[in-house]
């Protein structure tokens, strides 16, 4: 009885393209899980170790298969035209078409292949955004959103297509049976449209979603063009500068400002109007002096740190000519504890 021998490939006949073709064949029959190096060796008539000379592990093989889908996409794309929106639509439709032909791999469309053909696809989409009039920042962001939309939608459809046939039919049938039988009293809006709900795998779903996406990009490009700046220029608008922070004790920010003529102290005039004299409220804004309304400290008069030596009213109140200091600052008479001209400490 003769021994059967397995025919081996000639030495040097393996390359990445040959291995990828075998990987797609095995995957189409049994899913990505079936594409082991042992199975690929059997498919190719080669020892499994020969595969490792071209792909160090299965993850590298998967990324190469994803890039092969990008290569197939590019091969079926027409040359760019003068219409950026039409070119975007062409990339989207072709990508979705190719990925749906290979659902077992397209389900992993969220992976970044970081290979030549993916680079070309990315460059082509960004080119469309720049031709639409967007600056670099906006073009990069819109590329990301548009590309994720295409790949996400393709992965969604591929995931459904890759399901076990019985499970897939059960999912599809639920929209035609269960949803149409829901009680109108409990689900009035579903009941109103149940008879026209599209199937999950209806190709018109992707077409409509793509139209909406391109319409939104077109509207944003027009708005940026009309405004003459913003997204079209790729630059973010300048933010207002924050207000200056109060300096430490003794700095100019703690010195009281002269009152405007006719503005009583503590009534919204310059003294304490933009912030306290050294703290959190205008002089007298928290209540009568000595009754819990501190003079720029936050504690009852005399309860805080020892006050600095009193400062002459004429030096602290340059507006004394318009309003006598004794009339403008009754706090000095009511609160002998802290000096009337004391600078509050934090």
pTM higher than the cut 0.75: no
Q: Is residue 205 part of a domain?
A: yes
Neighbours of 89 (CB within 10 A): 17
CATH of residue 17: 1.10.10.60
Give the chain's domain count. 2
Does residue 224 sit in the same domain as residue 92? yes
Does residue 126 sit in the same domain as residue 214? yes
Q: Is residue 168 part of a domain?
A: yes
CATH of residue 228: 1.10.357.10
Per-residue model confidence (pLDDT) at position 280: 42
Does residue 222 sit in the same domain as residue 170? yes
Per-residue model confidence (pLDDT) at position 174: 94
Per-residue model confidence (pLDDT) at position 94: 97
Show which of 232, 257, 275 is a domain's final residue: 232
- Which residues have CB under 8 Å from 298's CB, separation 6+? 279, 280, 304
Give the residue ranges of the chain where pLDDT is below 50: 1-5, 229-241, 246-310, 312-346
Q: Is residue 245 part of a domain?
A: no
Per-residue model confidence (pLDDT) at position 254: 42
Q: Is residue 292 part of a domain?
A: no
Q: Is residue 97 part of a domain?
A: yes
Question: Which residues form the domain of 133?
Answer: 76-232
Q: Nearest Cα to 66, choosing from 116, 111, 35? A: 111
**Using one digit for the tens of pLDDT, what is the confidence trace for 115-126?**
999 999 999 999
Per-residue model confidence (pLDDT) at position 12: 67
Where are the alpha helices (H) located in the chain, listed in sequence order? 16-30, 37-44, 48-51, 58-75, 84-101, 103-106, 116-131, 136-161, 165-176, 188-193, 203-227, 313-316, 325-328, 331-334
Does residue 179 sit in the same domain as residue 109? yes
Spatial distance between the Cα atoms of 158 and 145, rounded to a whole number of angstroms: 20
């Amino acid at each position: 009885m003769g021994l059967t021998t397995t025919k081996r490939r000639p030495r040097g006949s393996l390359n990445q393209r040959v291995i990828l073709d075998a990987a797609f064949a095995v995957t189409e029959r049994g899913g990505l899980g079936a594409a082991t190096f042992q199975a690929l060796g059997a498919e190719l008539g080669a020892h499994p170790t020969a595969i490792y000379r071209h792909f160090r592990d299965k993850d590298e093989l998967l990324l190469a298969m994803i890039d092969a889908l990008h290569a197939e996409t590019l091969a079926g794309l027409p040359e760019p035209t003068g219409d950026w929106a039409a070119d975007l639509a062409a990339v989207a439709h072709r990508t979705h078409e190719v990925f749906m032909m290979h659902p077992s791999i397209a389900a992993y469309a969220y992976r970044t292949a970081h290979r030549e053909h993916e680079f070309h696809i990315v460059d082509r989409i960004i080119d469309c955004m720049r031709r639409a009039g967007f600056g670099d920042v906006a073009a990069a962001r819109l590329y990301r959103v548009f590309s994720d939309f295409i790949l996400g939608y393709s992965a969604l459809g591929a995931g459904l297509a890759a399901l076990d046939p019985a499970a897939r039919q059960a999912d599809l049938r639920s929209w035609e049976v269960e949803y149409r039988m829901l009680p109108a009293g409990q689900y009035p809006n579903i009941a109103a449209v149940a008879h026209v709900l599209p199937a999950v795998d209806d190709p018109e779903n992707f077409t409509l979603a793509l139209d909406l996406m391109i319409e939104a990009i077109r509207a944003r490009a027009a708005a940026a063009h009309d405004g003459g700046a913003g997204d079209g220029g790729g630059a973010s608008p300048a933010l207002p500068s924050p207000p200056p922070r109060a300096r430490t004790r003794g700095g100019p920010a703690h010195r009281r400002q002269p009152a405007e003529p006719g503005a009583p102290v503590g009534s919204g005039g310059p003294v304490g109007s933009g912030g306290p004299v050294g703290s959190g409220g205008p002089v007298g804004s928290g209540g009568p002096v000595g009754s819990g309304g501190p003079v720029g400290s936050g504690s009852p008069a005399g309860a805080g740190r020892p006050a600095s030596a009193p400062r002459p009213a004429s030096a602290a109140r340059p507006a004394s000519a318009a309003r006598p200091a004794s009339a403008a600052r009754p706090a000095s008479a009511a609160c002998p504890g802290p000096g009337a001209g004391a600078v509050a400490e934090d």
